[in-house]
């Protein structure tokens, strides 16, 4: 079998891979030393675009426009850039076996790749574990959801859901998925779509579909949208805003089956509460799970990911894990956490590469000290969140749907200190201010005082 050897291998072709490659180049990697192995057919790109501008009818994003590292204001790394730097892009290549002991990777076509240092940047894959609200003791779906390992690729068809193999049911994770969805939007002009899920992907996809004049229904089992981050008060604003845009929101139930037309295309979505929804397009947008199955039993795991230190070193020598797959020490909160967000994907990749190159040069680097940061944009809305969403909350600002402006936010207070801040429609200066508050964690006199001061509290820190 054909064999290739590299000093450094990045496994995965997402955001982390691109930012790691850029850092390797900054650190002086020599031509021929570094390879990126990706099952996708294109060079690393800014994945968040897929649920936003990639789907827009106007001002549409297309490659090469959003290759990394434009998402953070950096140089766009086109395929030619990797060639110029002597970095080998090995695309359309799926790795099916990894042997850390022999430092070997095996592809689906039998190619063998040897490495000295491995950076695991495999990211996440489609998961429907949030559909576990189908909780009947006699539900076969639930049995599998409880027993299948979290790293396994999960789609509705894996659980024998009626009609789940119908045409025009989409899972948005890679650019090929987005291309298929774009074609369906064009083919089903002014049609009906059902979005399964009320988190990041669900909210952004619903907005993008509505902008395309698609009649959209959102279905999710939780009592409000984005429950992992939003309070009920925050969610109420966005649900009201989406409703005003004509998006139907159906909470407290899940999709349990689909009917099809004569062409095998999805026609209806069956809900657990007995209702049925007409649908020309269905998008399952309920998040992902880290892709770590290749390394099962070879590295320590923690909280569903690969356990690392604050330099992203794993328990195996010369193996690093970054982005979605890494469970790392969150210094600010003194606990191990795994973070699924593009900001962490970028920064963790850079941290790992700096560590690798410094170690080889006999130098040291400062450990990763990450401030959790999340953001989203939909319609004319744009919010940012920094810190931790634990403790008591204080809502401030103008969240009246009838208002001309929608600047409002929330503080999270724990043990008398502000530990997290959310802000909708903030200016760059205001967003910097709330980030500083989340990092500094200032004390507050009382919740009433904080509510009265509102955004001015952050601006004075």
Condensed to tens digits (0 to 9), the pLDDT of residues 193-231 reads 999 999 989 999 999 999 999 999 999 999 999 999 999
pLDDT of residue 339: 96
Question: Residue 188 class from Cβ within 10 Å (0-12 exposed, 13-18 middle, 19+ buried)?
Answer: middle
How much of the chain exceeds pLDDT 70, in percent? 92
The domain spans of the chain are 3-123+291-360, 129-285, 380-459
d(CA 56, CA 41): 23
> Confidence class of residue 288 from pLDDT cuts 50, 70 and 90?
confident
Q: What is the pLDDT of residues 289-305, one digit of tens each?
A: 899 999 999 999 999 99
pLDDT of residue 29: 98
pLDDT of residue 405: 85
Mean pLDDT of the chain: 92
Residue 320 CB partners (closer than 8 Å, separation 6+): 117, 118, 119, 120, 308, 311, 312, 313, 314, 352, 355, 356
**Widest Cα–Cα separation across the chain:** 70
Q: Do domains 3-123+291-360 and 129-285 have the same CATH topology?
A: yes
Residue among 201, 283, 199 nearest 235 (CA): 199
- Beta 276-278 vs 104-107: how paired, if at all? unpaired
* Residue 10 and residue 20 in contact, taking contact as beta carbons nearer than 8 Å: yes
Rounded to an integer, the average pLDDT of 362-381 is 96
pLDDT of residue 127: 56
The DSSP code sequence of 377-429 is EETTEEEEEEE---SEEEEEE---TTSS---EEEEEEETTEEEEEEEES--HH
pLDDT of residue 157: 60
pLDDT of 133 > 70? The answer is no
Q: What is the pLDDT of residues 64-107, one digit of tens each?
A: 999 999 999 999 999 999 999 999 999 999 999 999 999 999 99
Does the CA dihedral 263-52-124-114 come out positive or negative?
A: positive
> Confidence class of residue 158 from pLDDT cuts 50, 70 and 90?
low
d(CA 346, CA 324): 10
> Confidence class of residue 124 from pLDDT cuts 50, 70 and 90?
confident
pLDDT of residue 256: 92
Alpha-helix runs per DSSP H in 69-137? 79-84
The DSSP code sequence of 227-242 is TTT--HHHHHHHHHHH
Exposure on the CB side of residue 410, measured as CA atoms within 13 A: 22
How far are the Cα atoms of 127, 138, 247 from residue 258, in angstroms, in the given order?
Answer: 18, 20, 21
Q: Phi and psi of 402, rounded to 5°?
A: -85, -5
CATH topology for 3-123+291-360 is FAD/NAD(P)-binding domain (3.50.50)
> Confidence class of residue 136 from pLDDT cuts 50, 70 and 90?
very low
Rounded to an integer, the average pLDDT of 156-181 is 87
pLDDT of 160 > 90? The answer is no
d(CA 210, CA 214): 5
The CATH class that applies to domain 380-459 reads alpha beta
Rounded to an integer, the average pLDDT of 410-434 is 97
Superfamily per CATH, domain 129-285: FAD/NAD(P)-binding domain (3.50.50.60)
- Record the pTM: 0.91
pLDDT of 355 > 90? The answer is yes
What angle, rounded to 10 degrees, do the helices at 342-360 and 15-26 form? Answer: 30
∠ Cα 204 15 305 (to 5°): 90
pLDDT of residue 48: 93
Residue among 168, 275, 155 nearest 214 (CA): 168
């Amino acid at each position: 079998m054909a064999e290739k050897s590299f000093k450094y291998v990045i496994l995965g072709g997402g955001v982390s891979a691109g930012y790691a490659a850029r850092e390797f180049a900054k650190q002086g990697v020599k031509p021929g030393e570094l390879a990126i192995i990706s099952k996708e057919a294109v060079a690393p790109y800014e994945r968040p675009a897929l649920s936003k501008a990639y789907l827009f009818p106007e001002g549409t994003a297309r490659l090469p426009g959003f290759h990394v590292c434009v998402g953070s204001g950096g140089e766009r790394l086109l395929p030619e850039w990797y060639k110029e730097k002597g970095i080998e892009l090995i695309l359309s290549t799926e790795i099916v076996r990894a042997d850390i002991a022999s430092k070997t990777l095996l592809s689906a076509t039998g190619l063998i790749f040897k490495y000295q240092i491995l950076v695991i940047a495999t990211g996440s894959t489609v998961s429907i574990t949030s559909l576990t609200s189908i909780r009947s003791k006699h539900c076969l779906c639930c049995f599998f959801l409880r027993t299948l390992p979290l790293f396994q690729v999960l789609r509705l068809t894996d659980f024998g859901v009626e009609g789940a193999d119908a045409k025009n049911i989409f899972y948005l994770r890679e650019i090929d998925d987005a291309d298929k969805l774009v074609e369906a939007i064009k083919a089903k002009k002014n049609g009906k779509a059902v979005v399964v899920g009320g988190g990041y992907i669900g909210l952004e996809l619903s907005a993008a579909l509505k902008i395309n004049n698609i009649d959209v229904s959102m279905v999710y089992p939780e009592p409000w949208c984005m429950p992992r981050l939003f309070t009920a008060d925050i969610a109420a604003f966005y649900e009201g805003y989406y409703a005003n845009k004509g998006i139907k929101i159906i909470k407290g139930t899940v999709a349990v089956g689909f009917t099809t037309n004569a062409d095998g295309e999805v026609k209806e979505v069956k809900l657990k509460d007995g209702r049925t929804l007409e649908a020309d397009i269905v998008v399952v947008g309920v998040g992902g799970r880290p892709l770590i199955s290749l390394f099962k039993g070879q590295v320590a795991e923690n909280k569903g990911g690969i356990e690392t230190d604050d330099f992203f070193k794993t328990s195996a020598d010369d193996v690093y894990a970054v982005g979605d797959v890494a469970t790392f020490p969150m210094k600010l909160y003194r606990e191990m956490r795994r973070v699924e967000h593009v900001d962490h994907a970028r920064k963790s990749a850079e941290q790992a590469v700096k560590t690798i190159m410094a170690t080889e040069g006999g130098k040291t680097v400062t450990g990763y000290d990450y401030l959790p940061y999340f953001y989203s944009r939909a319609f004319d809305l744009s919010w940012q969140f920094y810190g931790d969403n634990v403790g008591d909350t204080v809502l401030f600002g103008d969240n009246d749907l009838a208002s001309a402006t929608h600047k409002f936010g929330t503080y999270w207070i724990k043990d008398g200190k502000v530990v997290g801040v959310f802000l909708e429609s903030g200016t760059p200066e205001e967003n910097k201010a709330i980030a500083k508050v989340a990092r500094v964690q200032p004390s507050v006199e009382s919740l009433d005082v904080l509510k009265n001061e509102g955004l001015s509290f952050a601006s004075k820190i």
